[in-house]
Copies of this chain bind each other. A is one copy, B any other.
Amino acid sequence: MPPAGAGVAAVAPPEDGRVRVVIDQLVPSVDGGRFAGKCIAGEATDLCAHVFTDGHDQLRARLHWRADGQAPSGEVEMVLDANDEWHAHVVFPAPGRYLFGVTAWVDALCSWQHDLARRVDAEDIRVAARVGAELIDAAAARAAGEDRRALAAWAERLRNEAATARAETLKALALDGVFSEIAARYPDRRWAASHPERPLFADRLKARFSSWYEMFPRSASPEPGRHGRFADVQARLPYVAEMGFDVLYFPPIHPIGRERRKGPNNALVARPDDVGSPWAIGAAEGGHKSILPALGTPEDFRRLCAKAQEFGLDVALDIALQCAPDHPYVQQHPQWFRWRPDGSVQYAENPPKKYQDIYPFNFECDDWRALWLELKSIFDHWIGEGVKIFRVDNPHTKAFPFWEWCIAAIQREHPDVLFLAEAFTRPKVMHRLAKLGFSQSYTYFTWRNTKQELTEYFSELAHGPGAHYFRPNAWPNTPDILNEHLHHAERAVFAARLVLAATLSANYGLYGPAYELMDNRPLRAGGEEYLDSEKYQLRHWDIERPESLRYLIARVNRIRRDNPALHDNRSLRFMPVDNERLIAYSKRSADGANTLLIVVNLDPHQTQSGVVDVHLQALGIAPDTEYTVHDLLSGQRFTWRNGPNFVQLDPQHSPAHVFAVQQHLRSERDYEAFEG
């Protein structure tokens, strides 16, 4: 084999080698711009570029952005923070897809001033003044009108005084603020570098901060044994709203297949009056765009959505792209399914497991374009009915390219629509779905119970490479998952897991009333199914039971709403505690005005105490000053000072401290500052 370079043409130099500035990276940037980073419309988004050059010349960097398909905005001057990281804050005016890019250049005039300010030798300053006059002349040539005249005058004065003026006078003239500001408007950008644009999707705030309540409408009836209706759900809106939730999410509301219907506890054969699983979608009455008649009419549903809005609740629908054997699609579009040699449709299976009541779509069918359009039209239909949030069932069992297209196409028309990916699967698969456009993602929270597990996992979510596109939504339970830790668990476990989910993750949700009523009965030890799961039968919940967690939930959600520190995950910081059963972490709002310190007792049985090693800087507290920690759960207040502070939690009393941290207004340090 010849040497590797043998067949290759000579290496060509770049078009202009004088472009010395380097824009190494834009942040956020997902897979080199292949996917969009995520942010929130209407708030200041921090955009960053890594910019530097050889030597110590001064740089300038400007950011430009535009809504996708529109012309660029003006430029925003970026500011060097530290470590060659330049920042600009942009408020994207409305939800939608945007692009941002950066231009930077070596600024000879700024460099000249920066150096001049440091010069001490008088002769040196005189020569430098003459160098500067030439640079200012060039700036004048780029300017026009009054500015041009002002700059020319500045250059001339510098040149005239270079020979005679005192060094200090010359220096003051060279660094003159007014002239400098004029000159800054006419930079020499001949050798500016540009970094290719990167896409960003700006969502409405609920994409990042939301509190979900999941319930089965059919179990909402106040009378035991009667099938619940949308009207019953409507009557329960005050209950849900009082708990402080802002998303009300329903499992599928469509007609349920009769063929091969499952009975209670997933029995293979259903009795005639068994209600079946809402995820076995479609029957003679209709499919994914229809409503199970027992729940009500489309009009009832629209009324419910509108009423929910009055309570600050978005209704979220579950979209499960699969069919019961009697779904109308099977007759109307047989080409969308896989057929077996025996003339039957291929049901879902993962041998040896069979799901004979579910037909998956065949995403490899020749008619895939029509299939995609129809599936997208399901979302469009419900958007038309007033739904703006979708929880997508098992998106990782449908073709990935479909999601990228479908979400982009929908959000192009409805940029305020949100998608939650219900994919409990391998990490790279979950991350891909988030990159493809899902606004939020379920997490492994349910299986993270120890201090180490929680610390590692939530550190990764808050600070890992996925932080720019993967928005976690933490659930202590779902209709599919009664985690072993909740089997026969006591109130203290439910309370602790609630506080953890609600404070570790800006998005969280509960499946109720199972959660607030502390349903802790598994179908089987070691499994995760509920006994008498609502997935297969009606349940009646006595929501007024006095031991309900509803008041604790209301308090926690109120704390979430009132404290911006909890509206984002990026500030999350764990702090050491010398007790494995106590976990401590802080969150802080972007403006620093709101700081929380949370301590949770992971032991449901014993009082645990320990010393939290408070990281003062993360809380914005100066050393050697007193500060108050105010427990927003219990109302208790403690005065702390410096790092190590004692905490004690009795799980029978409270599972956690959710401390608001307040620096004392008056300390000797503050007096100094006022006098200084």
Contacts and interface: CB of A to CB of B under 8 A. Distances in A.
A10 B131 CA distance: 55
A1 B32 CA distance: 29
Given A14-B401, A94-B3, A97-B4, A84 B429 contact: yes
A33 interface: yes
A93 interface: yes
Contacts of A399: 17-18, 20, 54
A131 B340 contact: yes
A405 B14 contact: yes
Given A54-B363, A54-B398, A363-B17, A3 B95 contact: yes
A673 interface: no
Nearest to A132: B341
A405 B5 contact: no
B363 A56 contact: no
Interface in A27-75: 31-34, 50, 52-56, 67-70
Interface string A409-422: 10111010000000
User: Among A25, A95, A341, A413, which residue has the most Cβ atoms of chain B within 10 A?
Assistant: A341
A458 interface: no
A384 interface: no
A401 B428 CA distance: 35
A352 interface: yes
A164 B6 CA distance: 62
Contact of A341 (B1, B131, B364): B131
Interface stretch (A118-126, A274-282, A448-456, A612-620): A118-126
A145 interface: no
Contacts of A11: 405, 408-409, 412
A272 interface: no
A322 to B, nearest CB: 12
Interface in A329-364: 340-342, 349-352, 354, 363-364
Contacts of A636: none
B401 A69 contact: no
Nearest to A7: B69
Contact of A400 (B54, B340, B350, B396): B54
Interface string A373-412: 0000000000000000000000011111110010011011
A190 to B, nearest CB: 9
A397 B14 CA distance: 19
Interface residues of A, number: 91
A430 B118 CA distance: 26
A424 to B, nearest CB: 14
Contacts of A121: 352
A130 interface: yes
A236 to B, nearest CB: 34
A137 to B, nearest CB: 12
A18 B426 contact: no
A109 to B, nearest CB: 14
Contacts of A340: 127, 130-131
A398 B53 CA distance: 9
Interface string A266-307: 000000000000000000000000000000000000000000
B202 A17 contact: no
A5 B96 contact: yes
A131 B363 CA distance: 18
Contacts of A349: 115
A312 B588 CA distance: 59
Interface in A615-646: none
Nearest to A351: B118
Contacts of A12: 405
A415 B5 contact: yes
A8 B412 contact: yes
Nearest to A368: B17
B4 A352 contact: no
Contacts of A17: 363, 368-369, 372, 399, 401-402, 405
A311 interface: no
Contacts of A363: 17-18, 20, 54
A646 to B, nearest CB: 25
A415 B363 CA distance: 47
A116 interface: yes
Contacts of A106: 364
Nearest to A1: B93
A319 to B, nearest CB: 16
Nearest to A126: B342
A200 B98 CA distance: 33
Interface in A120-169: 120-121, 124, 127, 130-131, 134
A408 to B, nearest CB: 5
A52 B20 contact: no
Given A52-B432, A130-B341, A131-B340, 14 more contacts: A1-B94, A3-B96, A4-B67, A4-B96, A4-B98, A5-B412, A18-B399, A22-B432, A52-B428, A54-B396, A55-B396, A119-B352, A131-B341, A134-B341
User: What are the nearest 9 A-B pairs in CB distance?
Assistant: A4-B96, A32-B32, A8-B69, A7-B69, A130-B341, A118-B351, A4-B67, A11-B409, A5-B412
14 contacts: A5-B68, A5-B412, A10-B412, A11-B405, A11-B409, A17-B363, A17-B369, A17-B401, A17-B402, A24-B31, A24-B428, A32-B32, A53-B400, A191-B364
